Amino acid sequence: MLNYNKYQIMNNNNTTENSSRSPNVNWRSLLGTFALLLLLNSFVFPFLFKPKIIPTTYSNFINKVDSALVKKVNIDGNKIFFTTPEGTVDRNGNQQDAIYQVGKMDDANLVDRLLEADSPNENGKIEFSETIPRENSPVLNFLLYWVLPGAIFFFLWRSAMKSMRGRMDGNYMSFGKNKEKIYAEDEIKTTFADVAGQEEAKESLGEIIDFLHNPEKYGKIGAALPKGVLLVGPPGTGKTLIARAVAGEAKVPFFALSGSEFVQMFVGMGAAKVRDLFSQANKKAPCIIFIDEIDAIGKRRDGMTTNDEREQTLNQLLTEMDGFDGRKGVVILAATNRPESLDKALLRPGRFDRRVQMELPDLEGRKAILQVHLKKVKHEEIDLDLIARATSGASGAELANIVNEAALRAVRNNSSSITTNDLEESIETVIAGAQRKGKVISDEEKRIIAYHEIGHAMVAAKQTHSAPVHKITIIPRTSGALGYTMQIDEGERNLYSREDLENRIATLTGGRAAEEVIFNKITTGASNDIEQATKLARAMVTRYGMSDEFDMVALETVNNPYLSSDTSLSCSAETASRVDEVVLSIVKNAHDKAKKIIRANEAKMHELSEYLIQKETITGEEFMNILEN
């Protein structure tokens, strides 16, 4: 309502201000009004005021003529209209004649019949005539058949063109119109204090912040600011977060967009978007441009697959990076999980001059990340060392999710703060899913699951260089696991020996070994163990050079280390067959080792399994107390 009133006031003001001027004739309105009146006059008004006509048959018409009931007859083309005194009475009491319509027939005696017939007229004769066809004037024909259809077609075409132009300008063909939000200085609240576990990355990016604050210090020596910085690492390591933190620390405008936003429907639109982005950036300099998932437009041009739109966008990005002056303070930050797929022209010096690795955090990094996220929630004294060791291999985003899950669990338990137990349970929820306490499992299956999990723990405990058992449970999880054994290393490990990996494979086969030794049968519960053991044994042969037969020959390559870690063999079919034999030998030896350990400690297996069946969940400390006593 406010906008509408304002619009009315503005119109009134304009009318008053221009009242002294001669009015402009709106020919478009006049032409539309004329066409509307012409249509009404030709097709609407005649039907509104036309008297009621009753259709009838030709035989009825002849009967009325012979019965002396017809007063007037008018032949109009292929129609015959006749009136009879059988009508109605109007408001004034006057008799109204009825008008009938009948189709004309080939009746040669019609005129003679009308002349001889009697009529209720005063002279007793029927009045009959034939309408003379009247032709329209040439002007009217011209208006009806040429001007009016042309005007209608013109208005329809004009309306369609306006609609198409609006869509092209607004959505599909927005050449040079960029919709990326520019974050002003007070909108970026993220700083390096919000980024933990990436100290090397912060140190590398700190130079850029210092350059933006003190360009003279670098200009004295002749140093130039790196034009582009490529952030590389697995998902969830904080690439987007640290880019925002750089802008927040430098207090400069921040352009943030995804590489997929440059991929448009029509060829040339992405390139125009790149031009517009750099034009805005130059006006806002010093500033930071952040392109997330740059591999969407920066993929390698291999010549086998062509995409004109993506290649033109990439070429325009390369040109813009060469064209702007780094001393103005325009910095491009880009992030990707697939650095191996980027075009070499994009990675050469002068474009993306610096690469910053954002790897998964180590033990101390995980502690720092947990501290950052625990500041946002109420918590009691937390054993950060235990939680950090239990989350080995977790990214910053996963750690944030674990803390949030712990907070949700505390709310469900009507607790006012988070405890270490909440965090431990949230780790299990993220890894294996929530507990399914309502799942019905028979006593026999429960015994098999308990012996299976104790088998894993027993083999792990009886081997050297094996991670200590932290927790054993037979409570089903939503991921499909019917139970699991959790091991936690006492410290951060970066290197694993051949013995370490063989012990790990033996531990994985411990569950199946317990089923075979105790129940003399095997079940499907070891499917995930088999998968992990086979994968680890194959990596030992093909990637780690831990086999006597192949020595230090690389037989497998990792295609995408930061995402799926898929591998592909780079050897002949004969060699691949021999690799399978060596992998089978490694797994089989580990399996035999696990069965020997189970047989040697069968009495403890029974005691521990019965205890686990009663408790459903036991700690590693409880397990070791029973095993050693």
Q: Is 453 a known active-site residue? A: yes
| Tokens, residue 458 | 């027993």
Helix (H, G, I), strand (E, B) or coil at 558: strand
Helix (H, G, I), strand (E, B) or coil at 103: strand
Neighbouring residues of 279: CB distance < 8 A, sequence distance ≥ 6: none
| Per-residue DSSP letter, 487 | E
**Distance between alpha carbon 321 and the CA centroid of its chain, in Å?**
29
| Per-residue DSSP letter, 551 | T
Report d(CA 512, CA 509) in Å as an integer: 6
Q: 328 vs 215, 221, 282, 317, 459, CA distance in Å?
A: 9, 16, 8, 18, 63
Strand partners, 473: 484, 617
Q: 2 vs 5, 8, 129, 253, 259, CA distance in Å?
A: 5, 10, 68, 34, 41
CA dihedral 211, 212, 215, 218 (to 10 degrees): 10
Query: Going by DSSP bridges, is the β-strand pair 469-473/228-232 parallel, antiparallel, or unpaired?
Result: unpaired
The answer to whether 319 and 274 have CB atoms below 8 angstroms apart is: no
Helix (H) or strand (E) holding 290: strand 287-292
Neighbouring residues of 405: CB distance < 8 A, sequence distance ≥ 6: 426, 429, 430
Report d(CA 527, CA 410) in Å as an integer: 34
Which residue among 405, 453, 515, 556 is the active-site one? Answer: 453
Query: Going by DSSP bridges, is the β-strand pair 127-130/72-76 parallel, antiparallel, or unpaired?
Result: parallel
**Distance between alpha carbon 551 and the CA centroid of its chain, in Å?**
46
The answer to whether 128 and 74 have CB atoms below 8 angstroms apart is: yes
Query: Going by DSSP bridges, is the β-strand pair 228-232/330-336 parallel, antiparallel, or unpaired?
Result: parallel
User: What number of other Cβ atoms are within 10 A of residue 197's Cβ?
Assistant: 25
Report d(CA 443, CA 117) in Å as an integer: 112
Report d(CA 499, CA 446) in Å as an integer: 33
Preceding peptide of 120 cis, ω within 30°: no
Helix (H) or strand (E) holding 122: none
Report d(CA 286, CA 329) in Å as an integer: 4
| Tokens, residue 558 | 């990792």
Helix (H, G, I), strand (E, B) or coil at 100: strand
Report d(CA 9, CA 3) in Å as an integer: 10
Render the burial of 150-185: b for 16+ CB within 10 Å, e for the rest.
ebeeeeeeeeeeeeeeeeeeeeebbeeebebeebee
**Distance between alpha carbon 81 and the CA centroid of its chain, in Å?**
71
| Tokens, residue 616 | 């459903």
Report d(CA 206, CA 191) in Å as an integer: 11
Phi, psi angles (nearest 5°) of residue 120: -75, 0
Active-site annotation, residues: 453
